[in-house]
Amino acid sequence: MYQREIVLYTGGRSFQSWRAKRFLKSLGCRFEVVDTAEETELLSGLSSLIRGKVMMPYFFVDDRPLGDLGAVRQLSRLGGLEHLLRDRL
């Protein structure tokens, strides 16, 4: 089955990061984790990209910002996340 590329940016080992990974695993998604705890330049670049403060963990799909855990869960509740991840546009 086709799945878009998911990258989860985390701010180190935190409960929220654990919850985000668990959430993606529960959906059966494959994903990459990038820890920004020691990468201030990367975090600054992410902030510039989304034009605001990055709330960790933060999800990207196919190099496009998707949102933090709350936004992604809301998208999933509305039925849009699975469609976004699995369908070809």
| CATH number of the domain bearing residue 51 | 3.40.30.10
Mutual angle of helices 69-77 and 15-26, in 10-degree steps: 30
State how far the Cα of 51 lies from the Cα of 86, in Å rounded to an integer: 27
Q: Is residue 10 part of a domain?
A: yes
Residue 65 lies in a domain: yes
pLDDT along the chain (89 residues), means of 10: 84 90 92 86 74 82 91 93 74
Q: Residue 37: inside a domain, yes or no?
A: yes
Structural domain contains residue 1 = no
Q: What is the pLDDT of residue 74?
A: 95
In this structure, is residue 66 part of a structural domain? Answer: yes
* Number of folded domains that form the chain: 1
Whole-model pTM over 0.85: no
pLDDT of residue 1: 52
What are the CA-CA distances from residue 65 to residues 1, 31, 52, 69, 77 (Å)?
Answer: 23, 14, 12, 12, 18
The pLDDT of residue 23 is 95
